[in-house]
Structure 1
């Protein structure tokens, strides 16, 4: 696909996705979301050559929400009901963000500016959020009579707690980077020029470890958060069994016993 609304490249085993509609602060429209889904599908096909993913935005915004101008537009071949069209679009975005959330490699949102509405929700589907000192995050949908519907009402409380999530969603207020760090919404705050290097450093640190371990860790955490403690522990045990029986598990133990660095092959 010839991308018009995003930039995508893989360099030194890191995949970079850059939202590229700076004239509208990288607002999410249907075309961009279609390209993002294609991009994520491509990353799955190329997963063995990718150690991690960085998502950021062109210009002064990460993603400043959904493209409001499209919300009420009729679409040829789609339902005449705005509610049905909206829910169909949300379902497609759910699928894309779920694929991103469960990608076997670490995914870092490098938040360079506004991450509002759908942009904040996109960052919530990532494993880590590193924010520039210029970043602002929030879910302002209530000011439009709407709800956060790209996962905001579900992922945000799981990340920062129910009470804090309710405050942010009900008040629709934006939080600056330092406060976002304080409430656990972002992992780290850096100066703008350090944003991408900080994301790259995190990915390279993780990449020193066994890719299979990271994959299973991610499954255990993401799925376990939706389970009872007992169910989560059983999942952890099952994945631990797979890991210790894997080639990488055996290689890691052997290297430890022989006091040398392991060579992992993602097997």
Structure 2
């Protein structure tokens, strides 16, 4: 365990192309892509992002994580040269690294403006919530390079919008707007570009008001039952519901409801 901690510390000793802002008092952490003007994601950055999500997941004071970017664009995609130089073994891990937001037990919000292409789109798809703006363009343009999405993009997108729309986006390298993404259910919200920060802050505050235990339970249940038969999903839902009934947070929620006051959840 000590060796693993040392490895993580070494990996995160000098962040490549992004920064991390932690407000423990507010229960919020921001992962900020910062390689202007297009915030291209390097190979090293992918591994560091994975390690960062894991570290924030273990941070007791962090309740919600936001992924956002400096400048006009979220990310135009990955470092093309890095793909050529990387070993097949390294490339095979790309999807695992970019799936870190989905594996994280805490709610993760992607704040997307401007270009959100390739791995930028894939990273956002692995988050729980995507807020788009009227400047946002989503795309998986790998066909233009003689490739396909390699970090979960086509797979996650197909689950969200079906095979027809996914073929339209992937096989044509088609760009879709934030408004279109919202209509299709890819983005959970679409706002004016000047309102992105406000909308993100509002969603963070909303999520922080809920029981962290119930939030983690809901995320895990939904992730685990995405491909499950309906009967299995309902049975698992019942087991988790039953366990939450014995939690302090559930008791607090019921008491607050009857006393007509705001619940104070402790996450246990």
Instruction: Tell me whether the two structures share a fold, i.e. TM-score over 0.5.
Output: yes
Q: Does 1:7 align with 2:19?
A: yes
Distance (whole Å) between structure 1 residues aligned to residue 182 and residue 92 of structure 2: 28
1:259 Cα deviation from its structure 2 partner: 3.2
CA distance 1:157–1:216, change in 2 (3 Å) = same
Q: Does 1:230 align with 2:231?
A: yes
Distance (whole Å) between structure 2 residues aligned to residue 170 and residue 258 of structure 1: 56
State whether residues 57 and 106 of structure 2, in contact with CA within 8 Å, keep that contact through their aligned partners in structure 1. no
**Who is 1:80 aligned against?**
none
Q: What is the RMSD of the two structures over their aligned residues, measured on CA atoms? A: 1.6
Q: Does 1:256 align with 2:257?
A: yes
Matches within 5 A, 1:1-267: 1-11=13-23, 12-23=26-37, 25-46=38-59, 48-73=60-85, 85-91=87-93, 93-267=94-268
Deviates more, 1:191-200 or 1:138-147: 191-200
State whether residues 135 and 177 of structure 1, in contact with CA within 8 Å, keep that contact through their aligned partners in structure 2. yes
TM-score computed with the length of structure 2 as normaliser: 0.89
State whether residues 252 and 262 of structure 1, in contact with CA within 8 Å, keep that contact through their aligned partners in structure 2. yes
CA distance 1:164–1:87, change in 2 (3 Å) = farther
Gaps of 5+ in 2: 1-12
Gaps of 5+ in 1: 75-84
State whether residues 120 and 139 of structure 1, in contact with CA within 8 Å, keep that contact through their aligned partners in structure 2. yes
- How many residues align? The count is 254
Distance (whole Å) between structure 1 residues aligned to residue 202 and residue 48 of structure 2: 27
Distance (whole Å) between structure 1 residues aligned to residue 131 and residue 88 of structure 2: 30
1:87 Cα deviation from its structure 2 partner: 4.8
Distance (whole Å) between structure 2 residues aligned to residue 224 and residue 250 of structure 1: 26
**Who is 1:77 aligned against?**
none
Distance (whole Å) between structure 2 residues aligned to residue 127 and residue 142 of structure 1: 26
TM-score computed with the length of structure 1 as normaliser: 0.89
State whether residues 47 and 97 of structure 2, in contact with CA within 8 Å, keep that contact through their aligned partners in structure 1. no
**Who is 2:7 aligned against?**
none
State whether residues 130 and 189 of structure 2, in contact with CA within 8 Å, keep that contact through their aligned partners in structure 1. yes
1:96 Cα deviation from its structure 2 partner: 2.9
